[in-house]
């Protein structure tokens, strides 16, 4: 009887393991929207299921490196520290689109007249030297500064441009959020906040700031400026694979770079890599 039970449970276990193969994708919530839209199309065309999860660029890299996923999504480049931690593998970054990180503010402040800032002004806000909107031409209201988790790609791009160091500390911070979603909610719920969002996440309640360059030129976060690279916070949206990538995952990446995948990149508010 014991033997039978053993064989039966072994059979059940094996059946569970050999479930139809799926492609696991995880990482940056910035890269997620086009990838998950493309994944739906890809699945319906090929029958291979693609499971897409958020978790941030750092988390996306770690899961890929540890073999828990097939593709990582990163809204920044792999750091040297990350490559060093997993020396035995080769990682390849593939850009599937372009995006801009936009300093974003509550619509109340935008409507009250703060529509463009210089980089030193934004730096002042994040370091805690500027604490009131009236100091940068806005209403007399305390600035509520929203930062993101240190490993987030959006934050590293933002801090590299504003404070010159992707890992810079921001002592002016009042609140720390994780995903774009969470950051957007916090910005909407406040009426005097500043944060950082990917351009695809801006809307009526959360407005993006234009940047006043040193020569006085004002650059808005328009598609043309992002494509031309004149907006200061432009970055590539990457998918990352490990040297031992499985064929279906490779096929999915080709799909992302093909016409249908690129259409999804544009539909999500980003700029495709082809154009």
Partner 1 sequence: MSRSLSPTWPNRIFGKLKGLQIYALISAALSLSIVLTIIVTLFVQSGPVLLAENSGLMSTSWNPDKGQFGVLPMLFGSVFVMIIAVSVAFPLGLLAAVYIAETRSSRLRRLIKFFLEMLVGIPSIVYGLIGVAHLNIWVADIFDLQSGRVILTAGILLGIMILPTFLTLTEDAISAIPTKFRENAKSLGLYRHEVFFSVILPQAKTGIAGAGLLALGRALGETMAVMLVIGSLDRLPSPLFNPLSSGQTITSKLGREVAESAFGSVHFSALVFMSLILVSITVILTITSRYLFRKTPENV
Q: Is residue 58 near partner 1 by the rule CB under 8 A? A: yes
Candidate residues 86, 89, 91, 110; the one interacting with partner 1 per rule CB under 8 A: 86
* Interactions with partner 1, residue window 100-129 (CB under 8 A): none
Q: Is residue 77 near partner 1 by the rule CB under 8 A? A: no
Whichever of 158 and 231 has its CB closer to partner 1, that residue is 158
Candidate residues 41, 51, 116, 175; the one interacting with partner 1 per rule CB under 8 A: 175
Find the shortest distance in angstroms from Cβ 155 to partner 1: 12
Candidate residues 7, 85, 218, 228; the one interacting with partner 1 per rule CB under 8 A: 85
Counting residues that bind partner 1 (by CB under 8 A) gives: 35
Find the shortest distance in angstroms from Cβ 240 to partner 1: 15
Whichever of 61 and 270 has its CB closer to partner 1, that residue is 61
Output the DSSP codes for the chain. Answer: -HHHHHHHHHHHHHHHHTPPPEEEEEE-TTTHHHHHHHHHHHHHHH--EEEEEE-HHHHHHHHHHTTS-SEEEESSPPPHHHHHHTTTS-EEEEEEEEEEEEEEEEHHHHHTT--EEEHHHHHHHHHTS--BGGGGTS-S-B-EEEEE-TT-HHHHHHHHHHTS-TT---TT-SEEE-SHHHHHHHHHH-SSEEEEEEGGG--SSEEEPEEE-TTS-EE---HHHHHHT-STTEEEEEEEEETT--HHHHHHHHHHHSHHHHHHHHHTTSEES--
Candidate residues 90, 92, 134, 189; the one interacting with partner 1 per rule CB under 8 A: 189
Q: Is residue 193 near partner 1 by the rule CB under 8 A? A: yes
Dist. CA 35–CA 264, nearest whole Å:
8
Contact in structure between 42 and 71 (CB atoms under 8 Å): no
Find the shortest distance in angstroms from Cβ 114 to partner 1: 16
Candidate residues 49, 118, 163, 178; the one interacting with partner 1 per rule CB under 8 A: 178
Two tokens, residue 33:
């929207």
Whichever of 92 and 189 has its CB closer to partner 1, that residue is 189
Candidate residues 52, 64, 65, 234; the one interacting with partner 1 per rule CB under 8 A: 65
Site residues, partner 1 (CB under 8 A): 1-2, 55-56, 58-59, 62-63, 65-66, 81-82, 85-86, 142, 144, 146, 149-151, 167, 169, 173-178, 185-186, 189-193
């Amino acid at each position: 009887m014991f033997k039978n039970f053993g064989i039966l449970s072994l059979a059940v276990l094996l059946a569970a393991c050999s479930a139809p193969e799926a492609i696991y994708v995880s990482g940056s919530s910035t890269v997620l929207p086009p990838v998950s839209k493309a994944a739906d199309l890809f699945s319906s065309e090929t029958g291979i299921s693609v499971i897409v999860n958020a978790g941030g660029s750092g988390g996306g890299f770690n899961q890929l490196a540890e073999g828990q996923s097939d593709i990582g999504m990163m809204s920044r480049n792999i750091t040297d520290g990350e490559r060093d931690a997993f020396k035995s593998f080769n990682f390849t970054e593939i850009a599937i689109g372009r995006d801009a990180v936009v300093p974003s503010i509550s619509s109340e402040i935008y409507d009250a007249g703060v529509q463009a800032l210089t980089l030193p002004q934004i730096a002042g806000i994040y370091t805690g030297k500027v604490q009131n909107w009236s100091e940068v031409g806005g209403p007399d209201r305390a600035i509520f500064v929203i930062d993101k988790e240190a490993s987030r790609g959006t934050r590293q791009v933002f801090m590299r441009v504003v404070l010159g160091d992707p890992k810079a500390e921001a002592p002016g911070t009042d609140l720390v959020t994780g995903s774009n979603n969470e950051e957007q909610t916090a910005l909407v719920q406040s009426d005097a906040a500043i944060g950082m969002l990917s351009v695809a996440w801006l809307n009526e309640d959360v407005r993006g700031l234009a940047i006043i360059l040193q020569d006085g030129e004002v650059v808005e976060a328009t598609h043309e400026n992002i494509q031309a690279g004149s907006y200061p916070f432009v970055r590539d949206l990457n998918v990352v694979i490990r040297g031992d990538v499985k064929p279906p995952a490779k096929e999915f990446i080709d799909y992302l770079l093909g016409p249908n995948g690129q259409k999804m990149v544009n539909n999500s508010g980003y700029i495709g890599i082809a154009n």
